[in-house]
Amino acid sequence: MNKTDPAVEARRPKGSFFRTKKFLIAIAVVVVIVIALAVGLGVGLTRNREGGDDGKSKYPPLSGPPDIPPYNVSNLWQPAVGTPWQIILKKPIVPVSNGSDITPYETVYDLDMADHSADTFAKLRAAGISIICYFSAGSWENWRSDKDQFPAADLGKVLNGWPNEKWLNVSSPAVRDIMKARIKAAASKGCTAIDPDNVDGYDNDNGLGLTGEEAADYVKFLATEAASYNMSTGLKNAGALIPRVINFVQFSVNEQCIQFAECKNFKPFIDANKPVFNIEYPPSAPNVPANVAADICSHQGKAAYTEGFSTVIKTLDLMGWVQYCDGKTFNTSTVTTFTNSRGASS
Ligand SMILES: *[C@@H]1O[C@H](CO)[C@@H](O)[C@H](O)[C@H]1NC(C)=O
Ligand SMILES: *[C@@H]1O[C@H](CO)[C@@H](O)[C@H](O)[C@H]1NC(C)=O
Ligand SMILES: *[C@@H]1O[C@H](CO)[C@@H](O)[C@H](O)[C@H]1NC(C)=O
Ligand SMILES: *[C@@H]1O[C@H](CO)[C@@H](O)[C@H](O)[C@H]1NC(C)=O
Ligand SMILES: *[C@@H]1O[C@H](CO)[C@@H](O)[C@H](O)[C@H]1NC(C)=O
């Protein structure tokens, strides 16, 4: 995932809404919240994964027919359209006694692969919960335990808004070997599927000349590796790749397509009977006014083409709080003290 950059917001095309007082107030609220988070947490916005994509895609969809996987995808976990889900990346969830005591219960969980133990995953799996394991496949993160294995030549520019991460050369055999090892680790931890993030470097100032074609090849590589362990794969954002990779992936994980009015790009997943796990980050979260939630859940206006989407409303820090379109909210328990693999605790 990338980041919400108020400067990017400010560069958006000036429709009527963007000239209103409401818009200026919204910008001011975002700025205040960002500053409050940065100051209040005392850690900046960089230590752990947080939500926010870079903005509307600038890259045109790849052309050509969808590629056909060289293996039988019908054996893989294929969640149904509309499957409810929860995503928590900031901290590990509290280890559960038997899995079924987690709230919300009957959902899919998207969790950081490295931050959880196989034991926690085993308890969730025993309770019938499917686990999507998050890792960054397209960025180098300076706190991961395997960070020193990446050749310096494979690191590109720093991610906009994420000073502890750099874009990766996704064509590099060395990078791919490291990702193979991560996927193997995901399998041995009991992940049902993988959520490889930051495969949209081609749509960002990456310093490596990354192209959409390279990214599509990379997604197919990741999905093929995962499938060799009977794990499914999601396409994270990267709408331009859909025409080429949709047969390789079993779901979409999307950030802010409603905010950016680009959900139409992800509708091909619904048409292929594959869910779109969509996250929206209204600045008011976790106190979302009813009209804001109603707009997000309306399937109209900016939310056009979202019929069947599995939408969650989250705060940018991707903690345990979540709101669904049926109005229900939950606050999944996370550990209070967390020492991540970089050694910093919060
Ligand atoms: C793929 O697997 C499914 C389920 O096991 C099976 O029914 C189908 O015949 C397989 N297809 C091919 C082409 O092997
Ligand atoms: C592969 O995963 C699917 C879905 O989780 C499961 O039904 C199937 O039993 C698994 N196959 C093997 C060989 O483990
Ligand atoms: C699992 O834990 C919950 C909450 O502690 C409890 O209500 C339930 O009975 C437990 N289920 C089993 C199978 O132990
Ligand atoms: C990325 O890796 C590929 C494969 O090793 C190589 O051909 C290409 O030159 C690399 N790109 C950059 C910008 O270093
Ligand atoms: C969620 O619960 C945690 C404690 O587990 C609490 O610190 C946090 O404020 C709660 N979040 C919301 C939005 O209620």
> At 218, which CATH number?
3.20.20.70
Q: CB-based contacts of 50: which residues, under 8 Å, 6+ apart?
A: 1, 3, 89, 90, 316, 317, 318
pLDDT at position 187: 98
Amino acid sitting at position 308: G
DSSP SS3 for 120: helix
pLDDT at position 88: 95
Domain that holds residue 212: 53-331
Residue located via tokens 């080429």? 244
Domain-embedded: residue 297:
yes
Q: Which ligand is nearest to the CA of 322?
A: 5
124 C-alpha to center of ligand 3: Å? 12
Which stretches of the chain are assigned E, i.e. beta strand? Answer: 85-88, 108-112, 131-136, 139-141, 155-159, 162-168, 193-197, 232-236, 251-255, 276-280, 310-313, 321-324, 329-331
pTM of the predicted model as reported, rounded to 2 decimal places: 0.86
**Rounded (10°) angle between helices 212-228 and 173-189:** 40
d(CA 225, CA 4): 31
Cβ atoms of 194 and 186 within 8 Å: the answer is: yes
46 C-alpha to center of ligand 1: Å? 44
Q: How far is CA 299 from CA 26, 263, 305, in A?
A: 22, 10, 6
9 C-alpha to center of ligand 5: Å? 28
Based on the structure, what is the number of domains in the chain?
Answer: 1
d(CA 86, CA 332): 9
**Rounded (10°) angle between helices 173-189 and 118-126:** 50
DSSP SS3 for 201: helix
pLDDT at position 237: 96
d(CA 222, CA 25): 42
d(CA 195, CA 172): 20
- Whether 224 lines ligand 4, by a CB cut-off of 6 Å, is no
Atom of ligand 2 nearest to the CA of 230: 1
Domain-embedded: residue 218:
yes
Domain-embedded: residue 154:
yes
Query: Which residue, among 277, 226, 273, has the nearest Cα to 253 in the 3D structure?
Result: 277
Domain-embedded: residue 185:
yes
Domain-embedded: residue 71:
yes
pLDDT at position 336: 82
pLDDT in tens, the chain (346 residues): 444 443 333 333 333 444 455 555 555 555 544 444 443 333 333 335 677 776 778 899 999 889 999 999 999 999 999 999 999 999 999 877 777 778 888 889 999 999 999 999 999 999 999 999 999 999 999 999 999 999 999 999 999 989 999 999 999 999 999 999 999 999 999 999 999 999 999 999 999 999 999 999 999 999 999 999 999 999 999 999 999 999 999 999 999 999 999 999 999 999 999 999 999 999 999 999 999 999 999 999 999 999 999 999 999 999 999 999 999 999 999 988 776 543 333 3
Domain-embedded: residue 109:
yes
Domain-embedded: residue 211:
yes
Question: Which residue's CA is the nearest one to ligand 3's atom 5?
Answer: 101
d(CA 235, CA 317): 21
Domain-embedded: residue 188:
yes
Q: Which residues line ligand 2 (CB under 6 A)?
A: 75, 77, 192, 230
d(CA 115, CA 134): 10
Q: Which residues line ligand 3 (CB under 6 A)?
A: 97-98, 100-101
pLDDT at position 157: 98
